[in-house]
Structure 1
Amino acid sequence: MSWREAVLPVRMQRVAVLAPADSLREVLVRVAGAGVVQFEPGGEAEQRLHRAGGGEVAPKLAAQRPDLDLLERTGRADLLAGEAELEGHSAIAVRRGSVAGLAGWCARPDLPGLAEDLAAIGGAVVPLPAPRGVDPPTSLRAGGAVRRSFSGVVRTYGTVAYPDVDPTLPAGVAYVLMFGMMFGDLGHGLLLVLAGVLLAFGRPSRLAKWRHVWPFVTGAGATGAVFGLLYGEFFGPTGVVPVLWLAPLAEPIRLLTSAVAVGAVLLAAAYAVAIVNRWREGGPQLAVYASSGIAGAALLLGIGCVAGGLYLSSGVLAAVGGGVAVVGVLLAGAGYYATTSGGAAGALQSGVQAFDAVVRVGSNLVSFARLAAFGLTHAALGWLVWQGTTALFGAGPLGVLAAIGLFAAGNALAFALEALVAGIQALRLEFYELFSRVFAVEGRPFQPWHVPVVEFPEEEP
C-alpha cells in the first residue's frame, strides 16, 4: 500500500449486483454473508416477524429458503428478521427479463472476492460509474490497534468526507499530547499507563468491552509521565524527580507562552490537512480562498510572525507578518464575497465574515492557553496535598498515619479530577480548534449489509 492510499479512506466502487431472477435470493444470501456491499434504497416475512413479537432481534439468514410457517411456529424471530431484510432488498431489485439487479457500493479491495463468490452460483458484480455529484460512502481503514483506538475521536465528531484525508492518527497524537501537557505528573501518568496495560489484558473483566482503547489510555498516560518529568512532578512536587524544564507554579508565564506555541503548531498542522482537503473537495480555487485553506493559513502565519516580531523586537519580522496576514484576510474576503449575491450588501457581509475570521484565529490561539491553565491546576492540587502531607508527617505517630492517608486520598482525588478535566478539555480543543478546520463537509458512513448465514432444517425435527 502506498503512502497516498494509507492516508485516505478506503476507495469505493459503484457496483451492480446481478443474478438470474430465480436465483436472486441465493445471490443476496451470499452478499449478506460477505457483508461488503451497501445497497441504496415489507413483505410476508415482515408480517410474520411482527406476529412473532421479534421487533428487536439480531437478524440471521438461512442458507436455503426456509419455510416461513416453520419459522413462525418455532419462534425463530432472528431468521424471520433476516428474511424480512432480504425481501426488502429483493423488492427494489430492477428486473429485465430473466435478470435482476441491485446497485450499491463496495470497497474496491473486496470486489475480486465477492465476484468470485457470486460467479460460483451464477451471479455477477459489475463496476458502474459513480453518479455525478454524489460522493461514495466513507470507510476508514481498520489498521492496527493504535488506529482503532484513536478512531473513536474522529467518529465522535463526524464522518470523514470521502475525498478527505483520514485524520485518525494525527488526531490521536494531538489528543494525547494535549492531555499530557495538562496531566503532567510522572506518578499519575504511570498509573494511567498501568490502567492501559490492564485493559490490554482484559482486566478487570467488567471493562473488557473497552479493551480496544488500551493504546489510547496508555499513550495518554505516557505523555502525562513525560510532562511530569519535565515539570519535576511525581505525585506532586515531592522532589523525587528533578525539574527538567520548568516548574509550573514557579514559571506560569513561560508555561502559558509554551502552551500557545504548541497550539500554533497544532493549528498549522490542522491548516495543512485542511488545505489538502479543500483542494480534493473543490479544486485549487477552494483551497486558496477558503478560510480553512490557504487564506486562513496565511492569516495564522502572519499573526504568528507579528507576535514573534514583537517578542524578538524585530520590526522587519512584524512588518512581514502584517503583510502576510493582510493577504490572508483579502483572500478570505474574496472567498466570502464569491458566495454572496454581490454588490454593497455582499461586500459588507464578506467584510464582517473576514473580520470574524481574524477574531476566530486569535481566539483559537489564545484558547490553547488552557493547556497551561489546567496544567497549573494539576500542579496546584499536587502542591496542596504535599504541603498538607509534610505538615502532618512531623506530628507524631498519629500524624504520620494521617499524612499517609491524606497523601493517598489527595492524590486519588487529584488523579480522578484532573484525568476527567484534561480528557474533556483535550477533546474540546480537538473538536473546536482543530476539527472545525479539517472538516468542512461531512461524509456518510459505509454501512454494508451484513447478516450472518446459518443452516436451518426445512422440516421440523
Structure 2
Amino acid sequence: MPQGEAAVPVRMRRVAVVAPEEALRDSLVRIAEAGCVEIDLAGDGRPEVRGPAATRLQRLRAEPARPRLSEAPPDLDALEREGRADLLAGEAQVEERLGGAVRHGDVAALAGWCPRSEVGAVAARIAGTGAALVPLRSPRGVDPPTLLAGAAAATRPAPAVRRSFTPLVTTYGTVPYADLDPTMAAGVVYVVMFGLMFGDAGHGLLLVTVALLLRAGRPRRVAALRPLWPFVAGAGLAATLAGVAYGEFFGPTGVLPALWLTPLEEPVRLLAGAVGFGTVLLGLAYAAGIVNRWREGGPAAALYATTGIAGAALHLGLAVVAGSVWLGQAAYGVVGAVIAVAGLALAGPGLYAATAGGPGGAVQTGIQLFDAVVRIGSNAVSFARLAAFGLTHAALGAIVWDGTTALAGRGPVGVAAALVVFLAGNALAFSLEALVAGVQALRLEFYELFSRLFVGEGRPFRPWHLPVERGSAVAEPATPLESVRPDPARKERS
C-alpha cells in the first residue's frame, strides 16, 4: 500500500455486478468466496419475500450453523432431509441478494462497494461465469463504507503491527470515510502512555515475554489473542524503556541507575513532564482534527470548528499562557492571551451558526465558549494521571522491595519469606498496575484525543464472505429464481 493511502481508510469503489440471469448465482458464489465486496440489500420498505431455501431453513428448526455455500446449485429438498442447515443458510443469503437484483430482460445487476485495489481481481474472478464488475460513480450525498487498512480483506492481510492496533480505533467507533486513519498513531501513543504508567524494566520484560508466548500460540486457551502480540510487545518495550529512565527493575532494587528521574523523589517534575507531554499530544490531535474538518466540510469547517483551527488556536494560546506562568515571563503571557482570544473569536461564529439564533443563541454560544476553555485546561491536566499512576507503580514496587529487604536479614526463614514476598508482591503489582495502566491509557486516548479527531461516525464496510463447499451432491434448484424476486415491477427497471 502506498504511504499516502496508509493514512486514510481503504479507498472504495462503487461497483455493479452485471450478469446474465442464469449466471447470477454462480457469480455471487465467487464473490462470496472472495469476501471483499459488500452487496446492497433491498431495503425499500417492501415486505420480506421468503425464498425456498429460507423457508426450508425455518422449517428445519436446527441449531444456528455457520452459513456455507455449495459451488453448484443444490437440491434444497435433499439438504433439508440431511439437516444441512449450514448450506440452507448460505442459500438463504443468496436468495436475499437475488431478491434485491435489478433486472432488464435476461440481464440482472446488483450494486455494492469494493476496495479499489480489489476491483480488478474480483472482475477477473467472476469473468468466467459471464458476469462483469462495472465501476460506477459514487452516489451524491452517500459516503462509502469505511475499511481500515488494519482490517483489510482476507485477500490482502494487513501487516501484523497495524492489525494489532486496529481494535483501539474500532472499539471507539467507525472512522468516517473522509477522515484520517489514526490506527498507527493511536497505537504508538497508547503504548507510550502505558509505558509511562507501568514504568518498570522487569515488569516490561515480562510483558515482552507474554507477547512472545502469544506469538507462539501458547497457551492454547488464549490462542485467539495471537494477533495482538505486537501490541503487547510494544507495551512491554515502552514499559521497559520507562523503567530504565526511572531506574526501576522489579522495584527500586538498585539494578538500574535512574537515567532521567526517580519517581518517588521527584514527583513534581514527573507531573510537569506528564502534563507537558499531554499538551503536545492534544496539539497533534488538533492538527489531525483540522485535516479531518477540511476533508469533511472544506475550509470553513476547518476554520471555525472547536476541533479545527479555532480550537487549535485556543489550545495554543492557553498553553503559551500556562508556559509563561511556569517560566515567569509575562510577555509570553500576553502573546498567548492574544492567540487564545483569536481562537475564541473564530469559534464563536461557528458555534452561533449551530444555534437557533437571537439572544438565546448568543447565550448558548457564550456558554459553549466557556466550556471549550475549561475543557482544554481540564484535558491537559488529565494527563497528570500518567505521572500519578507511574508514582503508584513505583510506590508499590518500593513497598514490596522494602518488605523483601527487611525479611532477608532474618536468617534462612527470613530469606524464604523474603522470596515469597518479592514474588507475590511483584505478581500483584504487575497484575493490578497492568490493568489500571491499560484502562487509563484507553481513557486518555478516547476522551482527550479521539474527541478532537472525530465529530461523527462512519459506516463500517461489511463484505459478504462465505466459505464454499465443493464436491457435494447437487441438482438443479427445485424452484426457479423468479420465486425470490420481491416485486415483478423491478424486472424492467434499468
Distance in structure 1 (CA, Å) of the matches to 2:446 and 2:146:
20
2:76 aligned residue: 68
1:341 to 356, 375, 391: 356
Question: Aligned partners of 1:55, 1:358: CA distance in 2, in Å?
Answer: 56
Q: 2:204 aligns with which of 174, 189, 193?
A: 189
Deviation readout 1:428-456 (Å, 9 max, x if unpaired) = 10100011111111111111111112122
**1:111 corresponds to:** 119
Q: Is the 8 A contact 1:49 1:55 kept in 2?
A: no
Match of 1:311 in 2: 326
> What is the match of residue 30 of structure 2?
30
Cα deviation, 1:22-59, whole Å, max 9, x if unaligned, reads 22212211221222211122211011112222352111
Deviation at 1:119, TM superposition (A): 2.1
Q: 1:438 aligns to what? A: 453
- Tell me which of 229, 234, 238 is aligned to 1:219: 234
Q: 2:137 aligns with which of 124, 129, 152?
A: 129
Residue type at the aligned position of 2:19: A
CA distance in structure 1 between the aligned counterparts of 2:214 and 2:368, rounded to whole angstroms: 47
**Higher RCO structure (Cα 8 Å, ≥6 apart):** 2
Distance in 2, matches of 1:409 and 1:335, equals 56
Specify the alignment match of 2:12 in structure 1: 12
* Structure 1 range deviating more: 4-13 or 248-257: 4-13
Whether 1:91 and 2:106 are equivalent positions in the alignment is no
Please give the alpha-carbon distance, in whole angstroms, between the structure 2 residues aligned to 1:32 and 1:221.
40
Partner residue in 2 for 1:300: 315
CA distance in 2, matches of 1:350, 1:199: 51
Which of 182, 186, 190 is residue 175 of structure 1 equivalent to? Answer: 190
| Aligned-partner Cα distance in 2 for 1:2–1:35 | 23
**For 1:399 and 1:307, how far apart are their aligned partners in 2?**
52
Q: Distance between the aligned counterparts of 2:176 and 2:105, measured in 1?
A: 38
Amino acid at match of 2:353: A
Give, in whole Å, the separation in 2 of the partners of 1:234 and 1:36. Answer: 48
Residue type of the alignment partner of 1:418:
E
| Alpha-carbon offset, residue 101 of structure 1 | 0.8
Runs of at least 5 residues in structure 1 that lack an aligned partner in the other structure = none
Cα distance, 1:104 vs structure 2: 0.8
The answer to whether the Cα contact below 8 Å between 1:303 and 1:322 also exists between their aligned partners in 2 is: yes
Residue correspondence of structure 1 range 299-378 to structure 2 within 5 A: 299-378=314-393
What code does the residue aligned with 2:111 have?
A
Provide the residue aligned with 2:302 in structure 1: 287
Look up the equivalent residue of 1:109 and give its one-letter code: S
Of 238, 247, 257, which aligns to 2:253?
A: 238
- 1:51 paired with 2:59, answer yes
Q: Normalised by the size of structure 2, how large is the TM-score?
A: 0.91
Cα distance in 1 for partners of 2:30, 2:414 equals 73
- Give the deviation of 1:63 after TM superposition: 1.0
Match of 2:86 among 74, 78, 86: 78
- What residue is the counterpart of 1:457 in the other structure? 473
Q: CA deviation at 1:228?
A: 0.6
Deviation of 1:2 after TM superposition, in Å, equals 3.4
Q: Partners of 2:124 and 2:3 in 1: how far apart?
A: 29
For 1:119 and 1:300, the matched residues in 2 are separated by: 55
Letter in 1 for 2:270: L
How many residues end up aligned between the 2 structures? 459
| CA shift for structure 1 position 125 | 1.4
Aligned partner of 1:172: which letter?
G
Q: RMSD over aligned Cα, in angstroms?
A: 1.1
Rate the CA distance shift 1:158–1:123 in 2: closer, same or farther, 3 A.
same
Which amino acid is 2:169 matched to? V
The amino acid across from 1:216 in the alignment is: F
Of 401, 419, 427 in structure 2, the residue corresponding to residue 386 of structure 1 is: 401
Partner residue of 1:147?
162
Deviation larger for 198-207 or 174-183: 198-207
Structure 2, gaps ≥5 residues long = 42-49, 151-157, 476-494
Q: Which residue of 1 aligns with 2:47?
A: none
For residue 137 of structure 1, report the CA deviation from its aligned partner.
0.2
Query: Quick one: distance in 1 between partners of 2:401 and 2:312?
Result: 45
Segment drifting more, 370-379 vs 393-402: 393-402
Q: Distance in 1 between matches of 2:102 and 2:260?
A: 69
Summarize the alignment of residues 243-282 of structure 1 with structure 2, pairs less than 5 Å apart: 243-282=258-297
What displacement does 1:217 show?
A: 0.5
Q: Distance in 1 between matches of 2:315 and 2:235?
A: 28
Report what 1:198 is aligned to: 213
Taking the aligned partners of 1:409 and 1:55, their CA distance within structure 2 comes to 46
Q: Deviations over 1:176-207 (max 9, x none)?
A: 00000000011111111111111111111111
Distance 2:186 2:230 in 1: 14
Instruction: Write the letter of the residue equivalent to 1:130.
Output: S
> Shift of the alpha carbon at 1:308?
1.2
Give me the whole-angstrom Cα distance separating, in 1, the residues matched to 2:35 and 2:437: 39
SS in 2 for 1:3: coil
Verify the 8 A CA contact 1:189 1:224 in the aligned structure 2. yes
Question: Aligned partner of 2:27: which letter?
Answer: V
Does residue 417 in structure 1 map to residue 432 in structure 2? yes
Q: Structure 2 CA distance, aligned partners of 1:425 and 1:336?
A: 31
How far apart are the structure 2 equivalents of 1:36 and 1:144?
18
Q: 2:267, 2:357 → 1: CA distance?
A: 49
TM-score (norm 1): 0.98
How many angstroms apart in 2 are the aligned matches of 1:279 and 1:54? 52
